[in-house]
Structure 1
Amino acid sequence: MTDGSGRTAFPPAPTGLGALSASEIMAGYRRKAFTPRDVVDDTIAALQATNEACNAVVTPMYEQARAEADRLTREMRAGEAKGALAGVPVTVKDLVFVAGVPAYAGSPMNKDFVPDADAAVVSSLKAAGAIITCKTTTCESGYKLTADSPVTGTTRNPWNPSRTSGGSSGGAAAGVAAGCGPIAIGTDGVGSIRVPSSFCGVFGLKPTFGLVPRSPGFSPPSWASLAHTGPITRTVADAALTLEVIAAYDLRDAASLPVSARRFDTNAGRLDGIRIGASADLGYAAVSPDVCAAFGKALATLDSCGAQVTMDGPGLDPGILEHTLKPIAFTEQAAAVASKSATDLAGSEADYRNVIGAGRRYSGTDYIEASYRRGQTRNAFVKLFERVDVLVTPTVAVTAFEAGQIGVDTVDGSKVDPHLGWSPFTWPINLAGLPAATLPCGFDRDGMPIGLQIIAPWLDEPTIFRIAAAFEAAQPWAKFWPQLALREGSGGRAKG
C-alpha cells in the first residue's frame, strides 16, 4: 500500500504503549516488559492529546481505568490475572451503556441520564479483563455518518483535523487511528463502524446482525432492525479476538442469535479457491476517481494472493435508498423518540429534526412495503453468494470531507443525497443483515485513507478474517500512522 503520492516509505510508529496492538500488549505482560498501569497511563495521555485536536472523548473514565489497571497489575504479579483481554484498554461508543457512566448518545435530551446496568457487550469486555478508558463521541442517536452532535460538537480526523472523522462511531475510529488504545466498540446502523474506520484508516467490522447482543444498552435507540455492534481496531487479529469475546447469546435482545462461542483464524495464507465478486459501483453509485483507483489496486492485490476475482454484484434496485432504506431507517429513528415533543427536540440539530419529521410522515403501509423490498434485497445477496464466496466494494464513495458537514452532495460530478448518497456501499449491507468489514487499501491525493469493504454470507465472519489477514500481510496498513499520532508527550515507555 502506498500513500497518495505513491511513496512507500513508512513513517515511524508512535512510542506510547497505547499504540500497541492488543496482541502486543498481552505479549508484553507475559514478558513482564510493562504493567497494565503503564499501558493505561500512556493510553490516557494519548487520549487527552487526541481529544484536544480531534474531540473524540465524551466522558473520561480515567480514574476508574487507573484503579482497574492497578488491580490487574497486582493480580499479574501474583499470577492470578485471567481473561482474553486482561489489561487491554478499550473505548466504548456513547450509544452503549456503561453502568454508572453518563450515556448522552449525542443528545441534549439525555443530559441527566446515567444507566444503572452495563450493555451485554460491556459485561463481556469486563469479564475478559478489558479496561474501559472512556466513552467516545457519536452524533445524536447515531442518525448520520459523522460524529458531530449538540453535546460534543465536531469530531475531527487524526489524519487531518480539518476533515471529518466520519461516524457515527467517529470518536472510536479516531482514537484507534491515533494510538489511543488498540480496541474500540462501535455501532453500525447504516455504516457507522465502516465509514469512520475507512475515513480514519483502521479496520472495522460489522458482524452478522444478532451475533453481538445490543441489550440492555439503547436496545438500540434507533435503527432498531438495522443496528449492529462491533469492533474497530488497527489489526485483523485484534478484531477477531474482540469478536470472540463479545459475540454471545442474550435473551434480552430479541435479535440475538443462539450461536455457540466462536474462534477465528487470522493467520495469513493464500486465498486459493476463494471466489471474490467485485463491484466498483453496485451498478448505480457515483464514486470518486481516487477511490476507484485504490479499489482497482486492491483487486490486483487479492488476485496476487490467489483469489479468483470476477466483476459481479447483487444487482440492487437503483432506487433502494429512497424506496427501501429511508422508509425503514427514518421511521425507526422517529419511533425511537415517539414520546418526545417539539420542546424536547428543540436542542437537537435541524438535520436530526428533519429526519424525525420525515420518519413521522411515512405510513405503516410505507414501512411494510419497504420491508418487502428489503426482502428482495436479501434475496439478491442469497443468489449472489451462490456464485461467489464474498463480495468486495469500496467502503465509501469518497474520502473524508470537511469537518462539520453532514456529507457531500456531489460525487465525481453527479448529484447525490448529502445525508447517505456518498456512502452507497454500506447501508445495503445493513438492510440484508450481512457481516462486512472495512480495511485500509490506499490513500487519496491529499493523503486521506481509503477503505476496501469485504461482505460475506451470514455468519461467515471466518472468511472475512481469512481474506483480511491475507490482504493485511500483503499490504501492511498498520505501519501507516497519522501525523497526530507522532505527537510529543504521548508516552514512550520501552516496548520491551
Structure 2
Amino acid sequence: MTDGSGRAAVPPAPSGLGALSATEIMAGYRRKAFTPRDVVDDTIAALEATNETCNALVTPMYEQARADADRVTKEMRAGEAKGPLAGVPVTIKDLVFVAGVPAYAGSPMNKSFVPEADAAVVSALKASGAIITCKTTTCESGYKLTADSPVTGITRNPWNPRRTSGGSSGGAAAGVAAGCGPIAIGTDGVGSIRVPSSFCGVFGLKPTFGLVPRSPGFSPPSWASLAHTGPITRTVADAALTLEIIAGYDLRDAASLPVSARRFDTNPGRLDGIRIGASADLGYAAVSPDVCAAFGKALAILDSCGAQVTMDGPGLDPDILEHTLKPIAFTEQAAAVATKTAADLAGSEADYRNVVSAGRRYSGTDYIEASYRRGQARNAFVKLFERVDVLVTPTVAVTAFEAGQIGVESVDGKEVDPHLGWSPFTWPINLAGLPAATLPCGFDRDGMPIGLQIIAPWLDEATIFRIAAAFEQAQPWAKFWPQVALRGWPRA
C-alpha cells in the first residue's frame, strides 16, 4: 500500500511482543522463545504508553492479567496449557461485561455499575486461555461513530493523535493498531467495529447478526436489533481464529443462531470463480476523492487475484438514513434509557440527549413502518446475492477527521448528516444483518488509513476470509505501523 501521494509508508515495526499477531505469539510459545508473562508485560507497557497519547483505556486489569500470565506460563512448562488462545492478550470494549469489572459504557449513569457475570464472548475467550488486559473506550451507549465520552474524554488515532480513532469501538481499534495486543473485542450497531478499524488501519469483522451471542452482558441494550459483537485484529488469520472461539449458540440471547461450530480457512489463494459486485457510492453516497482512488486500486488488486469484478449494488432507497435507520436506531437507543429522567441524563453529551429525544418522538407506527422498509432493503441484498457472491464498497466515505468532533458536515462538497451521513456504507449492513469486514487498502494524502469493506451473504464469513486473505497477501497491510506504535509522537 502507498499513501495518497503514491509514496511508500512503511515505518519500522515496533519491537514489543504485544505487536505480534496471535498466531506469531502461539508459534513463539511452541518454540519456547518467550513466555505468556513476557508477552503480557510487553503488552501492558504498550497499553500504558499508547494510552498517554491516544486515551484508549477505561479500566486496566493488569494485576489479574499478570496473575493469569504466570498461571499459563507454569501450565506451559508443565505441558498442561490448553486452549487455542492460551496466553494471548485480548482487550474488551466497555459495552461488554466482564464479571467484577466496572462497565461504564461511556455513561456517567453507570459510574457505580459492576456486572456480576461475564458476557458469553468473555466466557468463551477465558475458556480458550486468552488473557484479558483491560476494558477499552466507547462513546456513551455506543450511540455514535467516535469513542469520545463524558467518562473517558476523547480517544485519539495512533496514526495522528490530532485525528479521531473513530468509534464506538475506538479504544479497541487504536490499541490493536498501536501494537497493544493482537485481538480486541468490539461491538457494531451502525458501524462501530468497521469505522474505527478503517480509521486506524486494522482488520475488523461484524459477523452475521446472531452468530456471536451478546448475553448475558451488553450494556445498555441499545441498538437492540442492530448490534453485533466481533473481533478487531491486525491479520485475517487472527480474526478467523477469534470468531471460531466466540461464535456459538446461547439460549440467553433471543437473537442467537443455533449454528454448529465453524472453522475458517485463511490460507491465501487465487479468487478464480468468485463474483464480486462493487459499488463506490451505493448509488447515493458522497465519497471523498482519496477514498474513491484507493477503492479503485483495491478493485484492480481483486481483479489481479482472479476475481470477476463488476459494478453492481443493491439499489437502496437514497433516503434510507432518514426513512429507515433513524426511526429504528434512535427509538432503540431511547428505549435503552426509557426509565431515565432528565436529571439522570444531565451528565450525558448534548448530542446523546438529542438522539434520545429524537427516539422518543418516533411513534410505534413510525418504528413498524421503518421495519417494513428494512425488510425491503434486506430483500434488495437477497436479489443482489443472486448475481454476485459478495459486495465490496469503501468502508467509510472519509478518513479520520479532527478528534473531538461527532463527524463532518460535508463530503466532497456535498452536505451530509454530521452524525451518520459520512459513513453511508456501514449501517445499511446492520439493517440487513449481513456479515461484513473492513481491511486496510491504502492511505489518503495525509497518511491516514483507508478501508475496503467486504459484505457477504448471511453466515458466509468464510468467503469474506477467503477474499481478505488473498488481498492481504497481495497488499500486506500488517507491515504498516503508526508513529505511536513506535512509542512516540511529536508533541507541540
**TM-score, normalising length from structure 1?**
0.98
Q: Secondary structure at the match of 1:345?
A: coil
For residues 229 and 392 of structure 1, what CA distance do their matches in structure 2 show?
Answer: 21
For residues 117 and 356 of structure 1, what CA distance do their matches in structure 2 show?
Answer: 28
- 8 A Cα contact 1:176 1:183, kept in partner: yes
- Deviation of residue 364 (structure 1)? 0.1
For residues 9 and 90 of structure 1, what CA distance do their matches in structure 2 show?
Answer: 27
* 494 and 200 in structure 1: CA distance in 2 versus 1, 3 angstrom threshold: closer
Q: Secondary structure at the match of 1:346?
A: coil
For residues 122 and 460 of structure 2, what CA distance do their matches in structure 1 show?
Answer: 24
Which residue of the partner structure matches residue 414 of structure 1? 414
Q: How many residues align?
A: 492
For residues 217 and 380 of structure 2, what CA distance do their matches in structure 1 show?
Answer: 32
* 362 and 481 in structure 1: CA distance in 2 versus 1, 3 angstrom threshold: same
The answer to whether the aligner puts 1:104 opposite 2:100 as a matched pair is: no
Query: What's the CA shift string for 1:337-394, capped at 9, x where partnerless?
Result: 0000000000000000000000000000000000000000000000000000000000
Query: What's the CA shift string for 1:228-262, capped at 9, x where partnerless?
Result: 00000000000000000000100000000000000
* 480 and 78 in structure 1: CA distance in 2 versus 1, 3 angstrom threshold: same
* 9 and 226 in structure 1: CA distance in 2 versus 1, 3 angstrom threshold: closer
- Deviation of residue 219 (structure 1)? 6.3
* 33 and 493 in structure 1: CA distance in 2 versus 1, 3 angstrom threshold: farther
Query: What's the CA shift string for 1:113-141, capped at 9, x where partnerless?
Result: 00000000000000000000000000000
Which residue of the partner structure matches residue 185 of structure 1? 185
- Deviation of residue 221 (structure 1)? 2.0
Query: What's the CA shift string for 1:109-166, capped at 9, x where partnerless?
Result: 0000000000000000000000000000000000000000000000000000000000
The answer to whether the aligner puts 1:215 opposite 2:211 as a matched pair is: no
For residues 418 and 384 of structure 1, what CA distance do their matches in structure 2 show?
Answer: 29
- Deviation of residue 82 (structure 1)? 0.3
- Deviation of residue 220 (structure 1)? 5.2
Query: What's the CA shift string for 1:66-93, capped at 9, x where partnerless?
Result: 0000000000000000001000000000
For residues 425 and 57 of structure 1, what CA distance do their matches in structure 2 show?
Answer: 28
Identity of aligned residues (%): 92
- Deviation of residue 401 (structure 1)? 0.1
Q: Secondary structure at the match of 1:291?
A: helix
* 493 and 418 in structure 1: CA distance in 2 versus 1, 3 angstrom threshold: closer
Query: What's the CA shift string for 1:157-197, capped at 9, x where partnerless?
Result: 00000000000000000000000000000000000000000
- Deviation of residue 2 (structure 1)? 1.1
- 8 A Cα contact 2:199 2:400, kept in partner: yes
- 8 A Cα contact 1:125 1:245, kept in partner: yes
- Deviation of residue 8 (structure 1)? 2.8
- 8 A Cα contact 2:213 2:247, kept in partner: yes
For residues 375 and 93 of structure 2, what CA distance do their matches in structure 1 show?
Answer: 30
For residues 220 and 209 of structure 2, what CA distance do their matches in structure 1 show?
Answer: 13
- 8 A Cα contact 1:28 1:495, kept in partner: no
For residues 199 and 315 of structure 1, what CA distance do their matches in structure 2 show?
Answer: 26
Query: What's the CA shift string for 1:277-318, capped at 9, x where partnerless?
Result: 000000000000000000000000000000000000000000
Q: Which runs of 4+ in 1 moved over 4 A?
A: 492-496
- Deviation of residue 94 (structure 1)? 0.1
**TM-score, normalising length from structure 2?**
0.99
For residues 245 and 171 of structure 2, what CA distance do their matches in structure 1 show?
Answer: 22
Gaps of 5+ in 1: none
- 8 A Cα contact 2:9 2:480, kept in partner: no
For residues 48 and 14 of structure 1, what CA distance do their matches in structure 2 show?
Answer: 15
- 8 A Cα contact 2:437 2:455, kept in partner: yes
Which range moves more in the overlay, 215-224 or 289-298?
Answer: 215-224
- 8 A Cα contact 2:141 2:219, kept in partner: no
- Deviation of residue 4 (structure 1)? 2.5
Gaps of 5+ in 2: none
For residues 159 and 8 of structure 1, what CA distance do their matches in structure 2 show?
Answer: 15
For residues 350 and 222 of structure 2, what CA distance do their matches in structure 1 show?
Answer: 17
For residues 74 and 3 of structure 1, what CA distance do their matches in structure 2 show?
Answer: 45
Q: Secondary structure at the match of 2:346?
A: helix
User: How well do the aligned residues superpose, as a CA RMSD in angstroms?
Assistant: 2.8
- Deviation of residue 218 (structure 1)? 2.3
Match of 1:493 among 474, 489, 492: 489
- Deviation of residue 11 (structure 1)? 1.6
For residues 231 and 326 of structure 1, what CA distance do their matches in structure 2 show?
Answer: 26
- 8 A Cα contact 1:220 1:227, kept in partner: no
Q: Secondary structure at the match of 1:347?
A: coil
- 8 A Cα contact 1:214 1:220, kept in partner: no
For residues 262 and 459 of structure 1, what CA distance do their matches in structure 2 show?
Answer: 10
For residues 269 and 190 of structure 1, what CA distance do their matches in structure 2 show?
Answer: 31
- 8 A Cα contact 1:16 1:493, kept in partner: no
